[in-house]
Amino acid sequence: NAGVTQTPKFQVLKTGQSMTLQCAQDMNHEYMSWYRQDPGMGLRLIHYSVGAGITDQGEVPNGYNVSRSTTEDFPLRLLSAAPSQTSVYFCASSKGITSGTGGFFGQGTRLTVV
Amino acid sequence: GDSVTQMEGPVTLSEEAFLTINCTYTATGYPSLFWYVQYPGEGLQLLLKATKADDKGSNKGFEATYRKETTSFHLEKGSVQVSDSAVYFCAHYTGNQFYFGTGTSLTVIP
C-alpha cells in the first residue's frame, strides 16, 4: 500500500516550458487535491476533484490545469511555467469531501522555474 | 472567509520542555480540525484530529482540544524530544477543502 505517490520529487523548468506533475493514490479515495506550499503562506489549494471526471478550482488555480480520468490519478499541468510558480507542490487524497479522517499527502514536488 | 491562524515561529525549546502552539480558526460551517506535522524533506503527516466540540485529539504525546466557544485548537505536549523537531500545521476541513495555517517551526535542542 503506497498511499499517495508524487513524481518527480525535484524539477527545474525554464520560463515558458510546460510540464505535468503526477499524483497517484491506491486507497480508492474519491477526493484528491493539489496544494502549493510557499514560505509564510502555509498550503494553498490549487485544484481539487471529487471523483473521476469532476474537477474544480481552488484558491490559486491560474496557470494550472487538471483532469481526473481515473480514481487513482490526478495530474497537475503547468501550461507555461513562470517564476511565480516556484514552490513545493503537494498532492493529497481523502475518503470524501466531508471526511473527518484527514488527508493523506504525497512527499511533495519541489519545482524551480528559472 | 474561512482561515486558520497559528502561532508564528520559529520556536526553540530544550528537551523535556512543555510545548504549546496556538491555533484559532474561522469557518463558515462546523469544521473538523487537524494538526499535521512535516519533517524536513517530507510531506505532511496527520498528527491528530478532532471532529466535534470538546473532542480531544491525541497522538505521540501531543494533544489538542476542539474549543468551539473560542474557535481554538491549541497543540500541546508535556515533554518534547529532539525527534519532535519539525514544522506543525493547524488545519480545518470545511466543505471541499482544507484551510491551513502558515506553519510553526519547532526546534528541540538536547
DSSP string across A43-87: EEEEEEEEETTEEEE-SS-TTEEE--SSSSB--EEESS--GGG-E
Taking an 8 Å Cβ-Cβ cutoff, which residues of chain B contact chain A?
A: 4, 32, 34, 36, 42-46, 49, 51, 89, 93, 95-98, 100-103
User: Is B43 close to A107, i.e. CB distance below 8 A?
Assistant: yes
Taking an 8 Å Cβ-Cβ cutoff, which residues of chain A contact chain B?
A: 4, 6, 33, 35, 40-45, 48, 50, 56, 58, 90, 92, 97-108
User: Which stretch of A42-46, A52-56, A100-104 has the lowest confidence by average pLDDT?
Assistant: A100-104
pLDDT tens by residue, A88-104? 999 999 886 655 567 88
Contacts of B49 in chain A (CB under 8 A): 100-102
What is the pLDDT confidence band of residue B97, given thresholds at 50, 70 and 90? confident
Q: Residue B1's pLDDT is what? A: 80
Rounded to the nearest angstrom, the minimum Cα separation between A21 and chain B is 15
Mean pLDDT confidence for B68-73 = 95
Rounded to the nearest angstrom, the minimum Cα separation between A29 and chain B is 14
What is the pLDDT confidence band of residue B90, given thresholds at 50, 70 and 90? very high
Considering only CA atoms, which of A42, A101, A6 is closest in space to residue B57?
A: A101
What Cα–Cα distance (Å) separates residue B55 from each residue in B6, B32, B64, B68, B69? 19, 10, 8, 10, 13
What is the pLDDT confidence band of residue B43, given thresholds at 50, 70 and 90? confident
**Separation between Cα atoms, residue A35 and residue B103, nearest integer Å:** 14
Whether A49 contacts A69, CB under 8 Å? no
Considering only CA atoms, which of A55, A52, A61, A63 is closest in space to residue A19?
A: A63
Contacts of B32 in chain A (CB under 8 A): 99-100, 102
**Separation between Cα atoms, residue A1 and residue B13, nearest integer Å:** 36
**Separation between Cα atoms, residue B22 and residue B86, nearest integer Å:** 16
What is the pLDDT confidence band of residue A33, given thresholds at 50, 70 and 90? very high
Q: Tell the burial category of A35 from Cβ atoms under 10 Å away from its Cβ (0-12, 13-18, 19+).
A: buried
Residue of A nearest to B4 (CA): A42
Rounded to the nearest angstrom, the minimum Cα separation between A36 and chain B is 11
**Separation between Cα atoms, residue B75 and residue B90, nearest integer Å:** 9
With cell 469532476, the residue in question is A54
